[in-house]
Amino acid sequence: MKERLVLIGNGMAGMRTVEELLKIAPDKYAITVFGSEPHGNYNRIMLSPVLAGEKTVDQIMINDLPWYAEQGITLHAGSEVVKIDRARRQVIAADGTTATYDRLLLATGSVPFILPIPGNDLPGVIGFRDIADVNTMLDTAQAGRKHAVVIGGGLLGLEAANGLMKQGMECTVVHLGDVLMERQLDPFAADLLRTTLEERGLRFLMGMQTAAILGEDRVRAVRFKDGLEIPSDLVVMAAGIRPNITLAKQSGIHCERGIVVNDTLQTYDPRIYAVGECVQHRGQVYGLVAPLWEQAKVCANHLAHYGIGRYLGSVTSTKLKVTGIDLFSAGDFNGGPDTDEIVLRDPARGVYKKLVVKENRVQGAVMYGDTVDGAWYFQLLREGTDISDFRETVLFGHAHMADAGREGHSVMAMSDDAEICGCNGVCKGTIVKAISEKKLFTVDEVRAHTKASASCGSCTGLVEQILAATVGNFDATPKEKAMCKCTEHSHDVVRKAIREEHLISLREVFDLLNWKTPNGCHSCRPALNYYLISTWPAEAQDDYQSRFINERVHANIQKDGTYSVVPRMWGGLTTPDELRAIADVADKYQIPTVKVTGGQRIDLLGVKKEDLPKVWGDLNAAGMVSGHAYGKSLRTVKTCVGSEWCRFGTQDSTGLGVKLEKMTWGSWTPHKFKMAVSGCPRNCAEATIKDFGVVCVDSGYEVHIGGNGGIKIRGTDLLCKLTTEQDVMEYCGAFMQIYREEGRYLERTAPWIERVGLSYVKSRIVEDDEGRRALYARFLESQKYAQVDPWAERASGAVDAHEFKPLAVMA
Amino acid sequence: MNDWHDVGCLDDIPPLGARVVRSAQGDIAVFRTADNDVFALRDRCPHKGGPLSQGIVHGQRVTCPLHGWVLELASGNAVAPDIGCAKRFPVKLIGDRVLLQVGAASAGGEEQHGAAA
């Protein structure tokens, strides 16, 4: 017989947990759900847009009633549980319904705090919590009643007031303090917000204490402590929420401010779990929605008896859901004596940004008017990034990294046919439609369903914004993301295990780290293979079946299934003999397109797969080897002619380029790695947009790192200045090695440097002579195993011959 | 044309890999999993025609090398939320010989184009 799971609370946290549970253990439990509201499960945080008339109740439903039946879940909607008999393991509802449980999940949410003042129980006095409250507000407005008073100028109160005003009521917000939304805003941002809302027609009574609500059969007016009375047909109490722990407390479950749970969301009764706003975890009570996504995942995992995953608490951020007002806040935005504030105020544009920084790490952020970079600041905050390298520009935003041309536009201002994802041609309207119709809540889900941000990823920020605007902000991405769905472990954890446990095969990784799939997936296998061969170059066996096709057949797959072939030309130099050989190959194998690449090489496009070994054989015979134009590896070293010919050249840039390429070719890296050497500061080889670039000057060599000219253009950072070619070689090898050892798979040097900081790289390469030499030595050691021409191996037929021949040809 | 054709031996196909059989019906990809199960699908991804034989095989699935669609080897169906199907061909192992039936197109039928393309 199935075990019985009973859920009390048909809200977002509880049902999210059930959905997570159904995903991983669909048949484990017979599930019964009690909900005090007579509906299915809906997105509570979107009640504000419903009140404002921007959405309908149907549009915010997550699971309607038929869904429960389809899932085999017994739902008692409109049935409030009044008692838990823990001895009998039974719950009892007010209407007499009972249910017996093996596991009980409490998700009772929170209740509005009702001020203890005379008249607080009059008809027309409500909270702002559920569909019934919204309906009361809408009915009051439609009945032609004019005056509304909202008590509490916090997030919820302002959203309620804005909605009521949109419904035609004259609305006054009463606030005890002097600062609106003081839990999210500092005084300056709060003033900007108040000014904007006043211009729209809201009235504010600040520093006012409500004394009584007046009325006979329903509310008529509100009286304040100083004697002032204002007329009112509706009073919305939005002075805060409290975890709803009445039932838990009565049942003897240990509660403080909320129901106390451990890191597995278990209460003091081991059969009973709790999630959402009703819980208190590590002393913290959450009134925002983002943490519940993580809680649900962890809780479901334990309910399924998988026993992995712990909830470690969340950092939250807020956005006000009032159309046309851009506001963002996160973390400790007020700061204290030991913090700095970095502030930008531009009243004419209505823009205010403040970062609270402690020891070069973001502690909190408040933004008003321009919140485009909110997600970025939030990421810096969560990851504890050291911002010292870009502190002077941090307030100007992520623009220098973001895709050109789109920055600064709020997605909300974009029309539905605006293209968001340029790779896959996905418009804003398509994304919004998928989010609403398919009930998507995370960027990963949007990516899977629409393909937006699924290719190059540069529009991820825009997709996040659209998601937040459509369903609210749920993304409390954990600090350390799992590598893929096959594991809970992050890239860094896996790599550490490979190094410390001396793992040299995929099988050992899968077994030791409890991989959830028998042999990984297309995402983790190439990463693991790279970590293995880069950590243990002498011991780990390169697993070709775990490489993407391009690296398996050493050519680039094209859209029609043919391949392109790029022979290496050291430093961009070639000879008449090489060119003749390339021309002969193109003729002999009827290669349709011959093109010069951006990296100063010649690309032969449209080669049939079975011709590849023969093409390589001919090119080998002319002295050429693989150009690795297909690999997460050293690609090319681009050069200008330098002092040998150029009248401006200061050093032999071509010669140095050839030496660098001879040293580094064949090395595998986390992502592609490009180099260039320019002979003078005119920089004709464009060295300052390469992963490693050298700009020769009269007195020596400037070494630049971390540039790229791809999706997000990034100019290099200057690492140091050197005086000899040998030094350049050593720094180059050391830099490649530290990137090889510490960059995450598919992370180019540009984002890697932004993650770890230029100062860190300098400390390892420039300031630590011994460490640099050790890195350089490890690089050269690794190259002993890497510098084998893969084309020659395959042209000889000795390696992977099966790749290039059909299994059988049938008549 | 419902004969079984001997197209080679199991060890001609690398574990977690695939080989191509050329036929009058076009290229057919024959896959081998880690557990030595074999499957055969038309060597064209229902998305944009990518050669599935060149993809990474994992579990009982293959990922298309062109745009990363994932297909079930047993059914040829794309893994949700993508929608589409690559035609399957009957294939079986007798001893270590791989036998393929090319004449009959089994269920899966013609490819459909995915809504989520």
Any idea where the domains of chain A sit in the sequence?
3-110+243-303, 125-239, 326-400, 411-471, 491-547, 550-626, 634-786
Q: Rounded to an integer, what distance in angstroms lies between the CA atom of residue A584 and that of residue A309? A: 60
Interface of A with B in 515-544 (CB under 8 A): 517-522, 525-526, 544
Cβ-based contacts of B81 with chain A (< 8 Å): 438, 448-449
CB–CB contact B22 A448 (8 Å): no
CB–CB contact B56 A806 (8 Å): no
Q: Which of A9, A438, A425, A565 is nearest to A244 (CA)?
A: A9
B21 vs A: CB within 8 A: yes
Q: Which of A288, A293, A287 is nearest to A475 (CA)?
A: A293
Structure letter (DSSP) for residue B78: B
What top-level class would CATH report for the domain A634-786?
Answer: alpha beta
CB–CB contact A806 B19 (8 Å): yes
Q: Find the CB nearest B54 among A557, A560, A806.
A: A557
B51 vs A: CB within 8 A: yes
Q: Which of A740, A764, A734, A599 is nearest to A663 (CA)?
A: A734
CB–CB contact B21 A802 (8 Å): no
Number of CB atoms found within 10 A of residue B115's CB: 10
Cβ-based contacts of A542 with chain B (< 8 Å): none
CA angle A747–A659–A556, rounded 5-degree value: 45
Q: Rounded to an integer, what distance in angstroms lies between the CA atom of residue A688 and that of residue A388? A: 22
- CA–CA min distance B9, chain A (Å): 9
B13 vs A: CB within 8 A: yes
Confirm if A676 and A657 have CB atoms less than 8 A apart: yes
Confirm if B4 and B92 have CB atoms less than 8 A apart: yes
Q: 3-class DSSP state for residue A810?
A: coil
pLDDT number for residue A377: 87
Q: Rounded to an integer, what distance in angstroms lies between the CA atom of residue A493 and that of residue A425? A: 36
Using CA coordinates, name the residue in chain A closest to B23.
A810
CB–CB contact A449 B81 (8 Å): yes
Q: Does the domain at residues A411-471 carry the CATH identifier 1.10.10.1100?
A: yes
Q: Rounded to an integer, what distance in angstroms lies between the CA atom of residue A795 and that of residue A788? A: 13
A548 vs B: CB within 8 A: yes
- CA–CA min distance B37, chain A (Å): 14
Confirm if A158 and A180 have CB atoms less than 8 A apart: yes
Using CA coordinates, name the residue in chain A closest to B19.
A807
Q: 3-class DSSP state for residue A213?
A: strand
Residue pairs between chains A and B whose CB atoms are closer than 8 Å: 95
B26 vs A: CB within 8 A: no
Sign, CA dihedral A327-A331-A335-A339, equals: negative
pLDDT number for residue A404: 35
CB–CB contact B65 A806 (8 Å): no
Topology, domain A550-626:
Sulfite Reductase Hemoprotein; domain 2 (3.90.480)
pLDDT number for residue A407: 41
- CA–CA min distance A348, chain B (Å): 44
Q: How far is CA A715 from CA A111, A125, A388, A687, in A?
A: 52, 59, 18, 9
Q: 3-class DSSP state for residue A509?
A: helix
CB–CB contact B48 A525 (8 Å): no
Q: Mutation test of the interface with chain A: which of B10, B16, B83, choosing the one with the most A Cβ atoms within 10 A?
A: B16
The alpha carbon of residue A189 and the mean position of all alpha carbons in its chain are separated, in whole angstroms, by: 27
CB–CB contact A806 B21 (8 Å): yes
pLDDT number for residue B104: 53
B95 vs A: CB within 8 A: no
Compute chain A's Rg from CA coordinates.
Answer: 32
Q: Assign domain A125-239 to its CATH superfamily.
A: FAD/NAD(P)-binding domain (3.50.50.60)
Cβ-based contacts of A451 with chain B (< 8 Å): 116-117
Q: Mutation test of the interface with chain B: which of A522, A746, A803, choosing the one with the most B Cβ atoms within 10 A?
A: A522
Residue A427, annotated ligand binder? no
B84 vs A: CB within 8 A: no
Q: Which of A570, A674, A586 is nearest to A623 (CA)?
A: A570
CATH number corresponding to A326-400 = 3.30.390.30
Q: Rounded to an integer, what distance in angstroms lies between the CA atom of residue B72 and that of residue B79? A: 7
Q: How confident is the model at residue B110 (pLDDT cuts 50, 70, 90)?
A: very low
Q: How far is CA A219 from CA A119, A227, A612, in A?
A: 8, 17, 84
CB–CB contact B21 A520 (8 Å): no
CB–CB contact A522 B66 (8 Å): no
Q: 3-class DSSP state for residue A547?
A: coil
Q: Where are the alpha helices (DSSP H) in A506-636?
A: 506-512, 524-535, 549-553, 576-588, 612-621
Residue A646, annotated ligand binder? yes
A453 vs B: CB within 8 A: no
Q: Same topology for domains A3-110+243-303 and A125-239, yes or no?
A: yes
B12 vs A: CB within 8 A: yes
CB–CB contact B56 A518 (8 Å): no
CB–CB contact A808 B48 (8 Å): no
Using CA coordinates, name the residue in chain B closest to A522.
B56
CB–CB contact A522 B70 (8 Å): yes
Q: Token digits for A336?
A: 């204290």
A806 vs B: CB within 8 A: yes
Q: Which CATH number applies to B4-101: 2.102.10.10, 3.10.620.30, 2.30.29.30, 3.30.1360.170?
A: 2.102.10.10
Q: Find the CB nearest A549 among B20, B54, B102.
A: B54
Q: Rounded to an integer, what distance in angstroms lies between the CA atom of residue A523 and that of residue A527? A: 7
CB–CB contact A808 B24 (8 Å): no
Q: Find the CB nearest B102 among A451, A454, A810.
A: A810
Q: Rounded to an integer, what distance in angstroms lies between the CA atom of residue A148 and that of residue A262? A: 42
Q: Rounded to an integer, what distance in angstroms lies between the CA atom of residue A639 and that of residue A696? A: 11
Per residue, the 3-state secondary structure of A77-108, as one string, reads: ECCCEEEEECCCCEEEECCCCEEECCEEEECC
- CA–CA min distance A198, chain B (Å): 45
A801 vs B: CB within 8 A: no
CB–CB contact B14 A545 (8 Å): yes
CB–CB contact A806 B16 (8 Å): no
Q: Rounded to an integer, what distance in angstroms lies between the CA atom of residue A27 and that of residue A2? A: 8
Regions of chain A short of the pLDDT cut 50: 400-408
Residue with tokens 């932004």: A754
Q: Where are the alpha helices (DSSP H) in A678-748?
A: 725-742
Q: Token digits for A175?
A: 């606030």
Confirm if A52 and A141 have CB atoms less than 8 A apart: no
Residue A720, annotated ligand binder? no
Q: Rounded to an integer, what distance in angstroms lies between the CA atom of residue B35 and that of residue B93? A: 13
Confirm if A550 and B92 have CB atoms less than 8 A apart: no
Residue with tokens 């962890």: A298
Q: How far is CA A104 from CA A3, A31, A34, A98, in A?
A: 11, 10, 11, 13
Q: How far is CA A74 from CA A65, A70, A82, A324, in A?
A: 10, 10, 18, 41
Q: Which CATH number applies to A3-110+243-303: 2.60.40.10, 3.50.50.60, 1.10.1060.10, 3.90.950.20?
A: 3.50.50.60
Using CA coordinates, name the residue in chain A closest to B61.
A521
Please count the CA atoms within 13 angstroms of the CA of A316 that sit on its side-chain side: 19
pLDDT number for residue A80: 95
Q: Mutation test of the interface with chain A: which of B4, B28, B58, B60, choosing the one with the most A Cβ atoms within 10 A?
A: B58
Q: Rounded to an integer, what distance in angstroms lies between the CA atom of residue A20 and that of residue A664? A: 47
Residue A680, annotated ligand binder? yes
Interface of A with B in 554-593 (CB under 8 A): 557, 559-561
Using CA coordinates, name the residue in chain A closest to B65.
A549
Residue with tokens 């799992």: A482
Using CA coordinates, name the residue in chain A closest to B51.
A561
Counting residues of chain B whose pLDDT is more than 90, the rounded percentage is: 79
A306 vs B: CB within 8 A: no
Using CA coordinates, name the residue in chain B closest to A455.
B67
Helix, strand, coil percentages for chain B (3-state, nearest 5): 5, 40, 55
Sign, CA dihedral A281-A282-A283-A288, equals: negative
